[in-house]
Amino acid sequence: MMVSDGFGPASQTYARSYFQYVHNLTEGYMSPLDKILVGSSRTRSSDSLITDSAAGATAFSCAIKTYNAAIGVDPEGVPCGTILEAAKHLDMLTGLVVTSRVTHATPAAFSAHVVHRDMESEIAEQQIGDYVLKRQVDLLMGGGRCFFLPNTTEGGCRQDSRDLIKESANLGWKEVMLTRKDFDTLDAEDTGIPLPALGLFNHDHMNYEIDRDPKQEPSLVEMTIAALKALQGNAKPNQGFFLMIEGSRIDMAAHNNDPVAHAYDIIQYYETVKAVREFVSKNPDTLLISTSDHETGGFTLGLQPDPRTYPDYLWRPDVIKKAHDAKGHASTELLTKKLVEYQVQDTKRRQEFVKTEILQNGLGITDATDKEISFLADPQALPSDILTFLGHAISYRANLGWTTIGHTGVDVNLYADGDSDGYKDLRGNHENTDIGTAMIKYLNVDLNYITRKLAK
């Protein structure tokens, strides 16, 4: 199960078009996702036309509609058995690979049960096996180390003194990976990373692909290839596995209205889909489903700044490419942090810093207006305003638009590959819960049985 968080149809068109431009490809180029398009998914939750990731992921994991913020629970807050837990009950190996905190909404909805997504300390406890079903996950990789560390540790997010990394050993975890070196060393084994294994490669979310230091963090595609190797390599004959992979930060870039970070996390997701499809081609008894939980940002290709004039029907991919190729290229999130931390109060020096380090070296913008520079150089400007301003500065020049920093309630694309019997019922337009139902049917599991076990 692959989830491209916050990735709507406009984002697919955008990333494909940008990839064509960068690599000088023809108009007929098909992305790894285009080749496996089977339909679309309706994304609403039980209490809103516009879902969040918690309810969206629970629709996949439990095959039920629930309220926004719910993690593996029904509308009454009662825990519901997940497809991952049901797979584990069949003695399959299980894995979660994400670029967010592992305790974030999507991975949590497959591996925990809490009434609100913000209960990440409790989610971490359940993920390592401290709940009624005991350990259900064999491989967990992503960010979010802070929710596994006690409040006595620098960088720890927990409100208590529990050290879940130490506790994990008592709950059956064999390996803990905290660095790139840990990941590379364990992945070098003949059968891949020994299981069960916990990989926490950042205190918070892992970095956007445009910001990622490959010497410090593995990429989504690297983690995915390693997960497939480990799950297959550690499996007994005919044991099989369930793996959920999320391109988490596609969504967060859209929340920030950052088209550059958005593009490169989507392209990384393309590479990950390509890698999974290669695995599926060699293992035809495998089902791959890829979809989004929702769209984020109300992203549009085409911008009409002045409704009184006829619009320019074009977009400028060269603006995004120039930003990526800039000397100090970075996400708007990182650039905002850099500007906020610049403590110099002198107006001229601040304006020069904004013009050179933030706009020119950071985003490739060489035609900044006095108004833009003055706004960003104001030491009283709020970080949230700076973040949005930078995203819109690059988007405006590329002729791209955003309607919100939140989610939107549109249908999203649905993709599938591998064993066609597994996705024959997903062709066309479906509720997001039908994706969960398809996985239940394919694995022939009873989620109600898991739900009853949780009730005990």
Q: What angle do CA 35, 37, 39 make, to 5 degrees?
A: 170
Active-site residue, selected from the candidate residues 31, 53, 331, 395: 53
**Pair 108, 151: CB distance under 8 Å:** no
CA 186 distance to own-chain centroid: 24
For residue 348, the tally of other CB atoms under 10 A from its CB is: 9
**Token pair belonging to 199:** 């990989």
**Token pair belonging to 28:** 């007929």
Phi, psi of 34 (to 5 degrees): -55, -35
Q: Is 111 a catalytic residue?
A: no
Residues belonging to the active site: 53
